[in-house]
Structure 1
């Protein structure tokens, strides 16, 4: 079952999707994409998962540390899912680089290296923006690089968390 809800954020409309019990997607509205939701999904804003997600987002956008994540169900390759787990471990108000994540993954797998570009591709495929904080991943030396929602939004989110970039 695919159900969805909308959340009006300071950064534009957010599209929330769920399987009925867990959040599966949180996407920025894209006016060029008429197929944001699968044709089998339906608007169902009163689900508990959407209430939990709205509370989390309300806290976040007020500039508070939002606390415990709503239940998530993320679908991807094992590599992508591990990267998304690492993203969830980045503390509010902190950043890490793509290279740092690549080094951490390489160490976990007893490998010499993992490509920062491969990490970047997995970060870019994160299906749950903001809550799985891909905006907290920066380039070498703290440079702002790549964000599916646009660099202006990434900068806004980092500034909301008290980071000056």
Structure 2
């Protein structure tokens, strides 16, 4: 059973979902994969995991790195889990590339290469925005494309963390400001 609650953030409404293990979803209203993986039947209820997630978000949106982590429950394929584990290792205030994540996975598997596009697909299916920091991943050419919550939010989060660089650019097809 999933439980849900809403959080009002500086970038808009966020839907939070948890199960008995921890937070399973953090989705921005209107994002590409909104409520992806949410049970068809769920109960509006502020669980302990959701309360802790809201406290984490309060700290994060004050421009500080939270020094605690609410319980989370990452639900996905083995490959997605591997990618998400690497995302969680990206330090606050820094970025990495899809290519670098692909290189790390290839190295861990003892293979020559891994598709950065496959990594990008897994990154896009991350249900735990912010706490599993997919916004910290950029393309090798410094493009900020590829954020399900919207490029404008990705820019906001990178600036909030002090990770935004002048050399980043937004592709012309983007709707970012």
Q: TM tier, shorter chain?
A: over 0.9
Look up the match of 1:40.
41
Shift of 1:161: 0.2
Look up the match of 2:66.
66
Residue 154 and residue 34 in structure 1: after superposition, are their counterparts in 2 closer, same or farther (change >3 A)?
closer
SS at match of 2:144: coil
SS at match of 2:26: strand
Offset from partner CA, 1:41-98 (integer Å, 9 cap, x none) = 11102x2111110110000000001122211111111000010011001000010000
Residue 110 and residue 35 in structure 1: after superposition, are their counterparts in 2 closer, same or farther (change >3 A)?
closer
Offset from partner CA, 1:8-29 (integer Å, 9 cap, x none) = 0111100000113400010011
Residue 2 and residue 116 in structure 1: after superposition, are their counterparts in 2 closer, same or farther (change >3 A)?
same
Counterpart CA distance in 2 for 1:78 and 1:68 is 26
SS at match of 2:4: strand
Residue 119 and residue 32 in structure 1: after superposition, are their counterparts in 2 closer, same or farther (change >3 A)?
closer
Counterpart CA distance in 2 for 1:119 and 1:48 is 32
Look up the match of 1:52.
52
Look up the match of 1:96.
96
SS at match of 1:118: helix
Residue 136 and residue 5 in structure 1: after superposition, are their counterparts in 2 closer, same or farther (change >3 A)?
same
Q: Report how many aligned residue pairs link the two structures.
A: 164
Residue 103 and residue 160 in structure 1: after superposition, are their counterparts in 2 closer, same or farther (change >3 A)?
same
Look up the match of 2:84.
84
SS at match of 2:15: strand
Counterpart CA distance in 2 for 1:42 and 1:105 is 37
Poorly superposed stretches of 4+, deviation over 3 Å: 31-39
Matches within 5 A, 1:17-36: 17-30=17-30
